[in-house]
C-alpha cells in the first residue's frame, strides 16, 4: 500500500506531516512528485506553480529553495484551522516545502522498511537534468542500485529511459492514462518496466488490465480510493496500489486477498 503524496486525504499533500501520518497508519510505501528549483534542489511539489498548495504564487522552476522555504505549504488544507478548536496542530517543520533529501532521510530512518515511489514531472524547462539530479541524490544515500527501496515513475518514457541509462538497476514505472491505446502502451513499455495505469483507465478499459495480467506484467495502480476499486486491483493481481487514504485501504484489504 503506497500513500499518494502522504496520507493526503486529511493532511496537506507533500508535507512531512502527511508522510509520517501515512507511515503511522501502516503504509508500506510513499509516493511523491519532484520538481527542480532554480538553484538545483529537488522538492516535493506536484503542480508547476505553488499557487494551489501554498500561500505564495509562482513557478517552482523559477524559484530558489530559500524562496520556497518562506511559504506555508500546509494552511491551504484547512484555512479555518485557527478558528477550529479541534483542528490538529501542524508543526512549523511540516509547513515548509519538503525537499526530496529530507523525505529520503525520513524513510531511511523509519523503524521499518519503506518503499519510495518518486514521480518526475514533465514537461519541464530542465528536461533531463531532473533525472540526473534524482539519480545523483539516490546514489548519495546508496539507493541507486539493485536493492534500492526507491523506484522512479513518469508519464514520459523518455524520462524513464534516461533513468535506466544512469542507474540500470533502478526499477521504473511507466504511468499510463486514457490517452494510451493498448498498442502504444506495449510499444512504450520496455522489458522489465512496471506498468502504472490509472484506476479510471482500468475501470473504463477492462481489457487493458487483463492483457497486462496475461503478459505477466507487474502492475502499480494510481489513485485508488474506494473499496470497489481496491477489489478490482485485487482481482487483477496488482502488485501495488497508490491511495490518498492508506488507513481505509489497509483496513479494506486486511486479509488473504491483500495487495502490497
Place of cell 490538529: 88
Q: How far apart are CA 206 and CA 54, in angstroms?
A: 38
Place of cell 544512469: 166
Catalytic residue among 14, 41, 46, 122: 46
Query: Is residue 14 annotated as part of the catalytic site, yes or no?
Result: no
Contact indicator for 95, 72 with CB cutoff of 8 Å: yes
Catalytic residue among 4, 14, 220, 252: 4
Which residue from 105, 101, 86, 87 is spatially nearest to 20, judged by alpha carbons?
A: 105
Query: Grid coordinates in use for 7?
Result: 496520507
Mapped onto helix, strand or coil, the DSSP state of residue 68 is helix
Contacts 24+ apart (CB under 8 A), 142-146: 143/104, 144/169, 144/170, 145/169, 145/170
Query: Is residue 252 annotated as part of the catalytic site, yes or no?
Result: no
Residues forming the active site: 4, 46
Amino acid at each position: 500500500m503506497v500513500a499518494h503524496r502522504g496520507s493526503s486525504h486529511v493532511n496537506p499533500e507533500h508535507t512531512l506531516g502527511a508522510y509520517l501520518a501515512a507511515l503511522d497508519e501502516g503504509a508500506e510505501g510513499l509516493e511523491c512528485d519532484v520538481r527542480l528549483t532554480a538553484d538545483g534542489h529537488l522538492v516535493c511539489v506536484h503542480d508547476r506553480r505553488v499557487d494551489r498548495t501554498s500561500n505564495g504564487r509562482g513557478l517552482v522552476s523559477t524559484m530558489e529553495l530559500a524562496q520556497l522555504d518562506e511559504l506555508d505549504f500546509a494552511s491551504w488544507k484547512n484555512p479555518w484551522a485557527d478558528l477550529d478548536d479541534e483542528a490538529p496542530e501542524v508543526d512549523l517543520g511540516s509547513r515548509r516545502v519538503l525537499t526530496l533529501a529530507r523525505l529520503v532521510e525520513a524513510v531511511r530512518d523509519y523503524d521499518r522498511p519503506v518503499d519510495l515511489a518518486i514521480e518526475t514531472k514533465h514537461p519541464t524547462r530542465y528536461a533531463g537534468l531532473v533525472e540526473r539530479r534524482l539519480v545523483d541524490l539516490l546514489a548519495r544515500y546508496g539507493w541507486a542500485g539493485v536493492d534500492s527501496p526507491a523506484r522512479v515513475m513518469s508519464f514520459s518514457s523518455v524520462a524513464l529511459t534516461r533513468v535506466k541509462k544512469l542507474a540500470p538497476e533502478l526499477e521504473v514505472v511507466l504511468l499510463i492514462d486514457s490517452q494510451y491505446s493498448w498498442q502504444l502502451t506495449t510499444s512504450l513499455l520496455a522489458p522489465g518496466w512496471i506498468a502504472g495505469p490509472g484506476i479510471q483507465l482500468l475501470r473504463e478499459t477492462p481489457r487493458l488490465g487483463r492483457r497486462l495480467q496475461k503478459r505477466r506484467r507487474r502492475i502499480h495502480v494510481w489513485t485508488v480510493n474506494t473499496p470497489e476499486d481496491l477489489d478490482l486491483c485485487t482481482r487483477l493481481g496488482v502488485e501495488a496500489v497508490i491511495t490518498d487514504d492508506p488507513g481505509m485501504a489497509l483496513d479494506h484489504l486486511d486479509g488473504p486477498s491483500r495487495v502490497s
